[in-house]
Amino acid sequence: MLIPRIDNLAPQHFSFWSPPAGTSVLVGAERKPLALPEFPLPLHRDNLNDGSPSDAAIGQGLYDYLRQFPDCVGNNIYAELLRDAYPHFITDLAAHAVMLDAKSVEPAYVLRKLTCLKILLLLEPRNRGLLEQLCRGYFELAMEFAALVRCREYLREAMRFGQDLLAIDHADFMALSLLAEIDLLFGDIPGALDKWQRLSVQVSDPEMRAHIEARLAACTKAAESDTTLVDDLEAVAEALRLHGLGDDRQATFVLEGLEAHGHFDVRTAIG
């Protein structure tokens, strides 16, 4: 295996350890040996003091690092090792996702749930249920006022999982509709129009057809603007930041400029 460059994303807390060839951990009630991959593994720094981490320390390091950095280099290898050698951590991830579903929809809780789902998806990359939850979850998170400062990042994540859904089923209704909304937000009007038109041939319900016609009209209107809706959402985030700093004069200036674009009524949106 050609080992890629591994950047430590939290060097103050983790160190990487490369298992010597033939190193194994004992798994299950029967304590059967499982060979470790010849690939750098993240460990808590304190667990490398003697140079030879325990089996438990390896599992804990993998679990904690993945929960902080689910998109890190080697994430598939780490997730598969957790599944094969430390399945209780995979069970814990699923339990966390369910538990966080029952909590209030504050962005921090939503993001923790989505991180759990991301790790589970590494083990089942074509699981439509997980992909749907991730696509819709990141889209809805991007629209939360408290998360607007990262709306562009979250929309790209939603797009990523929506495209994975379309790779499984090119006519997936939810994926097409959310991706059309994301295209509109980013100012990709041809992309949004194409997806809404593809959806229009799938539906016969008058209410849904009326909704699609309204979205097509919204695309036409957005094409006339010099800015994108994502630009506007980020401007709202900046205004909220300025307000939090007590600079209401500058916040008002930002909002007045935003309202002049005509994408939406800022005062109504903020309430």
* Buried/exposed 171-190: b ≥16 CB within 10 Å, e otherwise: ebeebbbbbbbbbbbbbbbe
Strand partners, 33: 26
Q: Is 41 helix (H, G, I), strand (E, B) or coil?
A: strand
pLDDT at 1 over 60: no
Domain annotation covers residue 72:
yes
Q: Do residues 188 and 139 share a domain?
A: yes
Q: Do residues 2 and 103 share a domain?
A: yes
Whether the CB-CB separation of 128 and 168 falls below 8 Å is answered with yes
Domain annotation covers residue 217:
yes
Domain annotation covers residue 117:
no
Q: Do residues 75 and 42 share a domain?
A: yes
Q: Do residues 97 and 151 share a domain?
A: no
Domain boundary among 87, 111, 135: 111
Q: Do residues 20 and 107 share a domain?
A: yes
Q: Do residues 90 and 150 share a domain?
A: no
* Predicted TM-score (pTM) of this structure: 0.89
Q: Do residues 103 and 173 share a domain?
A: no
| Model pLDDT, residue 2 | 63
Query: Could you tell me the CATH number of the domain that includes residue 193?
Result: 1.25.40.10
For residue range 139-162, list pLDDT tens digits in order. 999 999 889 999 999 999 999 999
pLDDT at 243 over 90: no
Confidence of residue 264 (pLDDT cuts 50, 70, 90): low
Q: Do residues 263 and 245 share a domain?
A: yes
Q: Do residues 3 and 91 share a domain?
A: yes
Confidence of residue 107 (pLDDT cuts 50, 70, 90): confident
Domain annotation covers residue 121:
no
Domain annotation covers residue 196:
yes
Q: Please state the domain count of the chain.
A: 3
pLDDT at 109 over 80: yes
| Model pLDDT, residue 104 | 62
Question: Could you write out the three-class secondary structure of 163-228?
Answer: HHHHHHCCCCHHHHHHHHHHHHHHCCHHHHHHHHHHHHCCCCCHHHHHHHHHHHHHHHHHCCCCCC
More confident residue, 119 or 257: 119
Domain annotation covers residue 134:
yes
Average pLDDT over residues 57-85: 96
* Phi-psi region at 233: left, alpha or beta (left = phi > 0; alpha = psi -120 to 50): alpha
Domain extent, residue 248, equals: 229-270
Q: Do residues 7 and 90 share a domain?
A: yes
Average pLDDT over residues 171-183: 96
For residue range 18-35, list pLDDT tens digits in order. 999 999 999 988 899 999
Confidence of residue 259 (pLDDT cuts 50, 70, 90): confident
